[in-house]
Structure 1
Amino acid sequence: METDCTRDDARVKSAARPAPLPAGTRLLHIGPHKTGTTAIQGALFDARDRLPEHGVEFPGNTRHPMEAVLAAVARPAMMGDAVPTEQHWARLVQQVKAAGRRTAVISSEFFADAEDDDTIARIVEQLGGDRVHVLVTLRPLARIMPSQWQQYVQNGLRMGYEDWLKHMLRKAPYEQPNPSFWRRHRHDRLVERWVRAVGPERVTVVVVDDRDRDRLMRTFEALLGLPENLLQPVPDTANRSLTLAETEMLRNLNKEFRGNELPDELYSKLVRNGAIMHMKNTCSPTPQDVKISTPRWALEDAARIAGEMIDGITHMGVRVLGDPALLSALPKSAGERPAEPRIAPEVAAHALYGALAAAAEVPVRHSTPAKARTVHQTSSVELVKVLGHRCLKKLRRR
C-alpha cells in the first residue's frame, strides 16, 4: 500500500509495487532499531553475490557495518566493546564509491543515532550527496518499547521495565536512563532531521506490518529493482528477543556486575558475547514462556505519541509506503498482566556455560605465585574482583 503524503488532501492509496529508484542510487536505510533492520541486513548479505547481476551492490564485508556507522555518528561502542575508529567508516565509504554506477544499499539502525545536522550532512555527502535516498522503516511504538528495553538490558541496564517506562514516558525530560531512546524513536523528528539533509523527495518511509512480515522484503526488492523473492529471510537466533524471565535474570546479573565494579570489557566478553549469545543460540522460547508485557497506561501514552508522530510525518511531503494508522494501533492483548516469570533450569545452564566457554577461550597461565591467604579465607566479593581483573589482563594480552 502506498500513501502519497506530498498533498494535504485525501491520501492516495495503492497496492501497486513501488517503482525502482534510479540506477546508481545510494539507498541509505537508517532503521531505526527494532523495525526489521536485522532481517533486511541478513537477507541482503545472504544474496550479495547475486545482487550485482541486477545492478545492485551491498558494500561491506559483514551483514551489518556497525563499527563504521558508530564512528560516523560519533556514538560510543556497546558496553565493553572496542572503540570504533574513523578507519572503519572510511573503509565503508570507499566500498560504496567502488559500486560506481550500480545502486548501493547501506543499512544500519545506528544511522538513527545521528543527532545533529552537521553529522547527517557529512554522512550524506560522503556517501554520494544527491545520489543518496533515505529509507526509514517504522513499527508501532507500543511494540518497539519492550523490544528496546530488553536490548538495553543486554547492554547493562539495571532498571525494571515499568520503572523504565515511567522514566521514558512520564518523567521529564524523558532522557534517563537511555537518552538514545527518543533520539531514535521520536520518529517525526528523526525523519525531519534527514529531510533537512536530502529533501522530502528523497526520503521514503515504510510502515512495517507485523501481520505480513514478507512485505518488507518485497518492498526492498521493488525499490532496488530486484526480482521478486530474491531476498529471503535468514534464520538468526542470535538476534531474537529475550523472554521476560531471561531479561530479568540478566538484569539482576547486571546489578551484581555493577555492584562489584567489574570492568566493562569483561561484560562484553563473558556476558553479552558469552552467556547471552550462547543462551540465544541454544534455547528457543516456547508458548509457555512469559513475554514482556506493557501496562495499559504505557500503551495509551505510546498510542497518543504515535498519533502526533504520524501527523508530523504525513505533512513533511515524504513518500509513505504502507498504512500510517498501524503505527498508533493498540495491540489486541493491550495491558494484560503477565504471569510470574520463571527461568527454566536448562536455560540458566546454557547461559552459565556460555560465560564459561567464553572465559575458556582466554589462555590461562599458571605462573602466579601462591599467596598466604587461601581461597576459602577470601570473601566472594574479593574473589569476583580478582577473577574479573585477571580475565581482563588476559584479554588484553591476547
Structure 2
Amino acid sequence: MVTQPELLAERAVLVHIGPYKTGTTAIQTSLHEHRPDLLEHGVTYPGRYHRQMRPSWALLGRSRVGEARVPAHEWDAMAEEVRRAAGRVVISSEDFASARPAQVRRLVDELGADRVHVLVVARRLDKLLPSAWQERVKSVNETRTYDAWLREVLGPERDGRAARTFWHNHGLSSLIGRWTSALPADRVIVLVNDEADRRLQAATFEALLGLPEGTLTPGPHANTSLSMERIELCRQVNVAAQARGWVGSRALNRPRRALLAGLRSAPLATFESLIPPLPAWTGPRLVELSDERARSVAESGARVLGDPGLLRYDAPPDAPDLADPPVVLPAAAAASAIEHTLAGVLERRARARRRAAAPAPSPRPDPLTGVSSRAILRELARRQAGRLGRLRPTSSGKASG
C-alpha cells in the first residue's frame, strides 16, 4: 500500500472509472478544458467532449432511455485513438464502473493490457448515498422517496433493483475485484477521497500523468445538487410518467434535461433545504458497512492512495428522523423549470417547421438525357474495343498493360 501517487510509465493509459458521484464531473470537465495543456506535456484525452460517455456506452451496450444503443464503432474509434497515442493517455467515464467481467477484459485487451492502469475513487458512504439518490431521481425515473430508497439500499437482502445497481457500482470489494482479475493488482489504483481536500483528485491526476501542479483547474461545467423542494418536483414528475406509461419513452429525454436546467438556474429561496443528513435509523448499518469498505480497500492488494480509515463512519448521537417530502416549491424555480421546458418544445417544433418548409433538393441531371440508345451502344462498343486492344499479346507472349 502506498500513500502518494507515482508517475505512470511513458505510454501508460489511465482509465478513470469513477464510480458515480465521486467527483467525476469536475475532473472530466477539467481534463476537457485543458486538452491543449495536456498535449503540451504528451498527454492525450481522446475525443472531443468533456467525458467519454458515448464510447463507454458503446462498449457496454448501453444508451439513454428509449434510444438506440450507441454504435459499436464509437468505442472502436476511441480505442484506436488510444492505441495510436505516443505518450500517456487518460480516459474517464463513471459508466466503466458498471462494466461486467467480460467487458472489463475487452477494455483492457483493446486499450493494451501492458499499458492500462485503472483509477477507482472510494468515497465515504454517508456522503455518497444522498448524492446517489438524487442522481437517480434526476436521471432514471426513480419514484421512491429518500427514506424508502435508503431502506432498500441499506437492507441486508440487497434484492431490489436500486440496491443491486448501487452495490454493483459502489461495492468496493467486488468493484476492485473485477479489475484486479483482468490486471495486475498494482495497476489498479484506489484513491481514498478526503472530503476536506477539494484539490485531491486534480493533484492525483497531475502526479500520475506528469502534469505541472495546478494544471487541472476547475472548468465551467457543474453537476450541482438541487434542494429537496426541487428534487421533489422531479420525483413527482417521475411518478406521473410512470402512471401514464411514459417510462422508457425517448420523447421525455429532452424535456427532462430542460426541466433540470431550469431548476438549476433559479436562485435558492431562503426556505429551501438541501438534502438532510442521514436519518438516525441508518446509523448502526452505516457503521457496519463503512468498516467493511475500509477493510476491503486495505486488503485489496491494489495500490491505495490515502488512508482507508477515512471511509469509516461515526454515527452522530442526535441524528434526526427524515421529515415528509416537501410540498412547496418557490414560484421562481417552478417558472424557470416551465420556461426552459416550453422553450425546448417550441424550438423543436420550429426546427421541424423549417425542415418541412425547406425546398426539396433539385434532382441531379441525368447525363444520358437526350442521348439515343444507338449512340450509347456505339460508345460502349468503342470502349470495349479499346480495352481489348490494351490486352493484345506482345512479342514476349504476355498481355500488354
Same topology, TM > 0.5 = yes
Change (3 A) 1:192 1:157: same
Q: Which residue of 2 aligns with 1:325?
A: 309
**Residue aligning to 2:50:** 63
Per-residue deviation at 1:288? 4.7
Residues 16 and 93, structure 2, Cα contact 8 Å, conserved in 1 = yes
CA deviation profile, 1:119-160 (whole Å, cap 9, x unmatched): 211111111112100110111111111111111111211111
Q: Does 1:31 align with 2:9?
A: no
Q: Given the superposition, is the C-alpha separation of residues 365 and 20 from structure 1 closer, same or farther in structure 2, using an over 3 Å criterion?
A: closer
Task: Tell me the TM-score normalized by structure 1.
Answer: 0.82
Distance 2:241 2:225 in 1: 22
SS class of match (1:229): coil
**How far, CA to CA, are the matches of 1:161 and 1:59 in structure 2?**
37
Gaps of 5+ in 2: 354-401
- How far is 1:345 from its partner? 0.9
Question: Is 1:96 aligned with 2:82?
Answer: yes
- Contact between 1:283 and 1:347, CA under 8 Å: does it hold in 2? yes
Separation in structure 2 between the aligned mates of residue 302 and residue 124 of structure 1, nearest angstrom: 34
Hey, what's the Cα distance between the residues in 2 that align with 1:329 and 1:287? 31
Counterparts of 2:348 and 2:16 in 1: how far apart (Å)? Answer: 37
CA distance in 2 between counterparts of 1:21 and 1:202 reads 10
Q: Is the 8 A contact 2:13 2:90 kept in 1?
A: yes
| Aligned twin of 1:387 | none
Provide, for residues 58-89 of structure 1, a one-character-per-residue CA deviation record: whole Å limited to 9, x for no partner. Answer: 11110111111122123x32324443221221
Shift of 1:56: 0.8
Q: In 2, distance between residues paired with 1:64 and 1:287? A: 35
User: How far did 1:174 drift?
Assistant: 3.3
Per-residue deviation at 1:352? 1.0
User: Is the partner of 2:348 in helix, strand or coil?
Assistant: coil
Query: Residue 265 and residue 49 in structure 1: after superposition, are their counterparts in 2 closer, same or farther (change >3 A)?
Result: same
Deviation at 1:285, TM superposition (A): 4.1
Change (3 A) 1:288 1:337: farther
The answer as to 2:208 corresponding to 1:223 is yes
**Which of 168, 173, 184 is matched with 1:188 structurally?**
173
1:336 aligns with 2:320: yes
Match of residue 226 from structure 2: 242
Residue 279 (structure 1) aligns with: 263
CA change 1:303–1:97 in 2 (3 A) is same
* Residue number in structure 2 paired with 1:10: none
Counterpart of 1:314, as a letter, is A
**Deviation for aligned residue 1:171:** 5.7
Separation in structure 2 between the aligned mates of residue 232 and residue 165 of structure 1, nearest angstrom: 34
Match of 1:176 in 2: 161
Counting aligned pairs with the same residue, the percent is 33
Decide whether the 8 Å contact of 2:173 with 2:300 is kept in 1. Answer: no
Q: Give the counterpart letter for 2:72 in structure 1.
A: E
User: Is 2:178 aligned against 1:209?
Assistant: no
Q: Distance in 2 between matches of 1:334 and 1:133?
A: 43
2:286–2:313 Cα contact (<8 Å) kept: no
CA RMSD of aligned residues (A): 2.3
Q: Is the 2:28–2:92 Cα contact (8 Å) retained in structure 1? A: yes
- State the alpha-carbon separation in 1 of the partners of residues 226 and 190 from structure 2: 28
The TM-score with structure 2 as length reference comes to 0.81
Cα distance in 1, alignment partners of residues 32 and 317 from structure 2: 35
- Distance (Å, rounded) in 2 between the aligned partners of 1:365 and 1:235: 28
Question: What amino acid does structure 2 have at the position aligned with 1:292?
Answer: I
Question: SS at the partner of 1:83?
Answer: coil
Larger radius of gyration: 2
Which position in structure 2 is the counterpart of 1:48? 35
Correspondence for 2:360: none
- In structure 2, relative to structure 1, the CA distance for the partners of 1:82 and 1:354 (3 Å cut) is farther
Assess, with a 3 A threshold, how the Cα gap between structure 1 residues 205 and 352 changes in structure 2: closer, same or farther: same
Structure-to-structure mapping, 1:70-219, within 5 angstroms = 70-74=57-61, 76-100=62-86, 102-115=87-100, 117-154=101-138, 155-170=140-155, 172-177=157-162, 179-219=164-204
Q: Distance in 1 between matches of 2:315 and 2:279?
A: 11
Distance in 2 (alpha carbons) for counterparts of 1:366 and 1:87: 29
Contact 2:297–2:308 (Cα < 8 Å) also in 1: no
Residues 262-301 of structure 1: pairs in structure 2 closer than 5 A: 262=246, 264-271=249-256, 273-280=257-264, 282-285=265-268, 288-293=271-276, 294-301=278-285
